[in-house]
Amino acid sequence: MKCICCKKNDGKYFHFDGGKVCDHCLGHYFTCSKCGMLFNQDDYVNGDQGTGYCKKCSQEDE
Ligand SMILES: [Zn+2]
Ligand SMILES: [Zn+2]
């Protein structure tokens, strides 16, 4: 499966919305340090909760 960002390289990391992202484009996304899932940088609903974790993982810690 091709990277959803550059659409050129092979995707390696799973994105929350589906599809995969390559090493090269990884910096364009927020990576949850717990589950390793990628989220859009501006996705504060599902992604970065200010904890380094996504929403799902933040809730699991409570
Ligand atoms: Zn890419
Ligand atoms: Zn997570």
| pLDDT tens-place string over residues 4-57 | 999 999 999 999 999 999 999 999 999 999 999 999 999 999 999 999 999 999
**DSSP category for residue 23:** G
What is the 43 CA–ligand 2 centroid distance (Å)? 13
User: Which H helix or E strand runs over 57?
Assistant: helix 55-60
What is the 3 CA–ligand 1 centroid distance (Å)? 5
- Smallest Cα–Cα separation from 11: which of 49, 40, 54, 3? 3
Ligand nearest to the CA of 5: 1
What is the 7 CA–ligand 2 centroid distance (Å)? 24
Ligand nearest to the CA of 31: 2
Instruction: Give dist(CA 8, CA 6) in Å, integer.
Output: 5
Instruction: Give dist(CA 31, CA 46) in Å, integer.
Output: 12
Give the global pTM: 0.90
